[in-house]
Amino acid sequence: MTQNIVSLASIGRFNNKKPVTGCAASGNTSCGSAAGPDDLSAEVWQKVQDHPCYSEDAHHYFARMHIAVAPACNIQCHYCNRKYDCSNESRPGVVSEKLAPEEALRKVLAVAAEVPQLSVVGIAGPGDALAQAEKTFRTFELIHAALPHVKLCLSTNGLALPDHVERIAQMGIDHVTITINMVDPEIGAQIYPWIFYRHRRWEGLEAAQILHERQMQGLEALTAKGILVKVNSVLIPGINDGHLMAVNTAVRARGAFLHNIMPLISDPAHGTHFGLIGQRGPTPAELRQVQDKLGADAKLMRHCRQCRADAVGLLGEDRGAEFALNKLGEVKPFDPHQREIYLTVVEQERADRQKAKEAAQMAQTNETPVLVAVATKGGGRINLHFGHANEFQIYEVTSAGARFIGHRRTDKYCVGGQSDGNAFDTTLKALDGVACVLCAKIGDSPREKLAAAGIEASDHYAFEYIEASAITWYATKARNEATAASA
């Protein structure tokens, strides 16, 4: 009980500072796409409104957990090495413990009892969720029987997908992600050395051709059944960067709901083929360039955190280590009342945040947008100390609006009360191009260092809503500059 109240407080609802404006009208804010309830059918909004990956707005309030019940894979990607496990590591394919279906259920029950934000359980590896599909389906059955309110989410490379669409639909799995990196087998052959299909191994162009056809078949069959499909594409500079527009066109034509462009993670220490041959990942600017090129009328996910296959918590936090099997002890029963309270709070918060944003917005002008970095631990509020942030959410801001465009990782500047100079250098790199950092608190020393780098830091909006505060900050700055210029 105490734990859950702490969780609610952590989003800032029960702090002693008031929101920017009072309470609520109606309406929610944006989606994982830019879409919200006004742009989506009621049926689709119902499916995405508390899914942290399918709705950008939901990711401020709702948590996912991954259960690592799928160790096997039926293909090889040049960016994957599932042997690597490090508790500081965060990328798909990596896990600390692999689970049997009954163990997974126990873990899910433990998380559900402690984390009222939990809305989605996903199977995303560490291999392919459909390479040993029975184990995946058995796990989902157990979870659905125990916690019917939890959404089931599945992530696959698509090779085995066409064989399982009926079962996915029957089980009520509403969200499926397919990783599609190419629609041209010539490009695919540079990403996939082999696949295992129909009891034999295929290589080169043939392998890529089969994978491509199976991915398209699976996507079409899922969307024909009304299942929401998100497509993940790994952006690999020099290989598929110029090709992702074609991928976007092909998947949208087949009904994909969202497209998520993920930067290649490539480090020789991970032992992947790409890491070892020096294939680099994209810079944040390159990633954004590709997203912006696709973004005019495509629904893009920009808030992906490239989670581990056993991640637990809000996107951007990983509480997986707290829920390792050997730490679980006696699992408390799930308390639906706690969740009801949480949902009521979130509904009110979303409405208040939207109202605050609308109140802060001014008429459209020809202002130049700037980037604002926000230290937050969720809830759509500026509620994290600068030194405790291991990522910043980045918004593009004018006095007419604030648009979430992504996040940038960093290292915590303050650990155990001590500041870390190396971490500050990492933070400065992460803040490249940013005009202002909004945080709950910041010390004089980092504030001065940021100022020396031309970055303003403000804790003036501590615990207030992100968008409304960013817009107000911009408008105030513009007004002050105009006054200074006319003086």
Strand 63-66 versus strand 312-314 pairing type? antiparallel
Alpha helices (H) along 203-283: 204-224, 244-253, 273-277
**Residue 153, contacted partner among ligand CLF, ligand SF4, none, CB below 5-8 A by kind:** ligand CLF
User: Is residue 93 within 8 Å of 80, Cβ to Cβ?
Assistant: yes
CB-CB contact of 314 with 95 (8 Å) = no
Give whichever of 203 and 432 is closer to ligand SF4, judged by the CB atom: 203
Q: Is 166 helix (H, G, I), strand (E, B) or coil?
A: helix
Residue 302 interface partner, choices ligand SF4, ligand CLF, none, CB cut-off 5-8 Å depending on type: none
**Of ligand CLF, ligand SF4, none, which one sits near residue 214, judging by CB under 5 to 8 A according to partner kind?**
none
Report if residue 312 touches ligand CLF, rule: CB under 6 A.
no
Helix pair 336-360, 2-10: axis angle to 10 deg: 10
Give the nearest distance from C-beta 77 to ligand SF4 in angstroms: 3
Residue of this chain nearest to ligand CLF (CB atom): 122
- List, in order, residues 6 or more apart from 451 with CB less than 8 Å away: 457
Q: Among residues 305 and 449, whose Cβ is nearest to ligand CLF?
A: 305
Of 195, 185, 187, the C-alpha closest to 158 is 195
Q: Which of 63, 73, 265, 304 binds ligand CLF (CB under 6 A)?
A: 304
Residue 106 Cβ, how far from ligand CLF at the closest point, in Å? 19
Q: Outline where DSSP puts E strands in 288-355.
A: 300-301, 312-314
CB of 96 within 8 A of CB of 85? yes
- Whether the CB-CB separation of 28 and 36 falls below 8 Å is answered with yes
416 Rama sector, left if φ>0, alpha if ψ -120 to 50, beta otherwise = left
Q: Is residue 157 part of the contact set for ligand CLF (CB under 6 A)?
A: no
Q: How far is the CB of 40 from ligand SF4 (least distance, A)?
A: 29
Applying CB under 6 A, does 177 fall inside the site for ligand CLF? yes
* Contact flag: residue 306 with ligand CLF (CB under 6 A): yes
Q: Which helix (H) or strand (E) holds 6?
A: helix 2-10
Residues 234/207, Cβ–Cβ less than 8 Å: no
Indicate whether 115 belongs to the interface with ligand CLF (CB under 6 A).
Answer: no
Site string for ligand CLF, 17-46 (x = CB under 6 A): ------------------------------
Q: Which one of 247, 307, 402, 440 is in contact with ligand CLF (CB under 6 A)?
A: 307
Among residues 58, 69, 110, 124, the one that binds ligand CLF under rule CB under 6 A: 124
Cβ distance to ligand SF4 smaller for residue 37 or 127: 127
Applying CB under 6 A, which residues contact ligand SF4?
Answer: 73, 75-77, 80, 82, 93, 125, 127-128, 157
Binding-site partner at residue 128 among ligand CLF, ligand SF4, none, CB < 5 to 8 Å by type: ligand SF4
Nearer to ligand CLF, 218 or 387 (CB): 218
CB nearer to ligand SF4: pick between 76 and 354? 76
Residue 59 CB, nearest distance to ligand SF4 (Å)? 22
Question: Tokens standing for 378?
Answer: 């969720």
Of 120, 161, 239, 312, the one binding ligand CLF (CB under 6 A) is 120
Single residue of 305, 339, 355, 385 touching ligand CLF by CB under 6 A: 305
Our CB check for ligand CLF shows the closer of 76 and 90 to be 90
CA 137-141-142 angle, to 5 degrees, is 120
Question: Are 59 and 70 a contacting pair, CB within 8 Å?
Answer: no
Query: What residue 33 binds from ligand SF4, ligand CLF, none (CB within 5 to 8 A, per partner kind)?
Result: none
Cα–Cα distance for residue pair 348/351, rounded to 1 Å: 5
Minimum distance, C-beta of residue 129 to ligand CLF, in the bound complex (Å): 8
CB of 258 to ligand SF4, least distance (A): 19
What is the spatial distance between Cα 207 and Cα 401, in angstroms, rounded to a whole number?
47
Structure tokens at 209: 């051709």
Q: Are strands 200-203 and 228-235 parallel, antiparallel or unpaired?
A: unpaired
Cβ contacts of 14 within 8 Å, gap of 6 or more: 5, 8
CA distance 294 to 40: 20
Q: Which does 155 bind (CB under 5 to 8 A by kind): ligand SF4, ligand CLF, none?
A: ligand CLF
How far is Cα 434 from Cα 244, in angstroms, rounded to an integer? 27
Q: Which is nearer to ligand SF4, 273 or 412 (CB)?
A: 273
Point out which residues bind ligand CLF (CB under 6 A).
Answer: 53, 64, 66, 92, 120, 122, 124, 153, 155, 175, 177, 230, 260, 304-307, 315
